[in-house]
Amino acid sequence: MKQNKWRTHHSEGARRIIVTKDLPGRRWLEILAEADCRIDICTSEETLHRQEILAFIGNQCDGAIGQLTESWGETLFKALKKAGGTAYSNYAVGFNNVDVAAATRHNIPVGNTPGVLTETTAEMAVALTFAVARRTGEAERFMRAGKFKGWLPDLFTGHLLWRKTLGIVGAGRIGEAYARMMVEGHKMNVIYYDLHANQALEIFIADYSRFLESQGQSGVTCKRVLNIEDLLLQADCVSIHTILDDSTRHLFNADRLAKMKTDAILINTSRGPVIDESALVDHCRANPDFRAGLDVFEDEPAMKPGLADLDNVVVVPHIASATRWTREGMATLAACNVAGILLGHPLWQQSEILPFLENEPPKAIPSIVNAEILGKKSLSIVSRHNMNRFNEQTEV
């Protein structure tokens, strides 16, 4: 490991935290420093391999903040525990890169960063939707290449989504936010597929429909379907907002893609492996009016052969959460997760996490994905252990 890959903040801290990528903003550093942590940060833009992380965990490490590009499993959590670590947070809302069961076996809470990505990611899904529908990527390349010779009636004609049918796969926070944006802005009817009914979304759209009708306009509808095939057959545009697990890997395979309208739009801002990317390439080649917008990829950062050559696919490099407010907020939440565990704070019991982004964040742990499995008793044992270590270190 090159020594210049790392820098240290608050070197006098009694506890040691490793952070595998430099994070935006300063508040997260202040939070960890206030928890008496020395913060060792990797400054390289390259993805760290497991052996590099192991080497940097070393013999003394109280906690870590990792990235969704890294696989945190048995080996790393065993090493973290052996080094005295009791806290880990993913710098992401998703945690499919983390073996939560392995962390739980070593009694290590796994934090994540929900709540600050919702509107930001939904906005990117909207941006991709219209980039695809209005063929802006193709048109820009055409313009930059000097091919534009004047207005033509059929030049880059695309899709009008006004009053069309929108399909949502995964109607959680982000899926709901995206649906609301498309309904309010473009009067689309919504169908959604989710294991659980989203009553808040259904009530909102019903209320909005009544408002439209009071203004002399046609209303809008929202309904839940019990199988994804029903959604694919009806939707003009399908946006994916599901988690990645064994049940959703290759959820969109060749058979399901074939059930979609030949001129449908498919948007993915969730996780790449939800789509069989090779099947998508074949489908887009066979159906030139079918269009896709992708922020995530199956073998990220690589794309399956042929994907980059398709004009009917818009691709961006995993930037759905890339606003400064969101990325700094994610860093703050990750730091609050780690600091909260080390300081013995209780779990946050409210769904709203924005108080953690204020000047004086609550003395609580924002989000632990394995809290229920660990149990409050286990978390309190972890917290007491850390407080005892802190007292011993500060007394010396």
pLDDT digits (tens, 9 = 90+) for 219-228: 999 999 999 9
Domain boundaries, the chain: 3-116+323-395, 118-315
Asked if pLDDT for residue 338 goes beyond 80, the answer is: yes
What percentage of the chain exceeds 90 in pLDDT? Answer: 91
pLDDT digits (tens, 9 = 90+) for 141-162: 999 999 999 999 999 999 999 9
What is the DSSP code (8-state) at residue 387? H
Beta bridge pairs of residue 266: 238, 292
Asked if pLDDT for residue 359 goes beyond 60, the answer is: yes
At 66 the three-state DSSP class reads strand
Exposure of 362 by Cβ count < 10 A (0-12 exposed, 13-18 middle, 19+ buried)? Answer: middle
Residue 259 main-chain phi, psi, to 5 deg: -80, -15
Exposed e or buried b for every residue in 270-294, given b needs 16+ CB within 10 A? bbbbbbbbbbbbebbeebeebbbbb
Give residue 245's Cα distance to chain centre: 14
- Rounded to an integer, what distance in angstroms lies between the CA atom of residue 216 and that of residue 243? 39
CB-CB contact of 391 with 344 (8 Å): no
Residue with tokens 């919504």: 190
- Compute, in degrees rounded to 10, the torsion defined by CA atoms 117, 301, 58, 84: 30
pLDDT digits (tens, 9 = 90+) for 125-135: 999 999 999 99
Catalytic residue among 271, 283, 291, 327: 271
Catalytic residue among 186, 283, 318, 345: 318
Query: Is CATH 1.10.3720.10 the classification given to domain 118-315?
Result: no
385 is annotated as an active-site residue: no
- Rounded to an integer, what distance in angstroms lies between the CA atom of residue 184 and that of residue 172? 18
49 is annotated as an active-site residue: no
Class of domain 3-116+323-395: alpha beta
Same fold for the pair 3-116+323-395 and 118-315: yes
At 395, is the pLDDT very low, low, confident or very high (cuts 50, 70, 90)? very low
pTM summary value: 0.88
15 is annotated as an active-site residue: no
Beta bridge pairs of residue 168: 192, 239
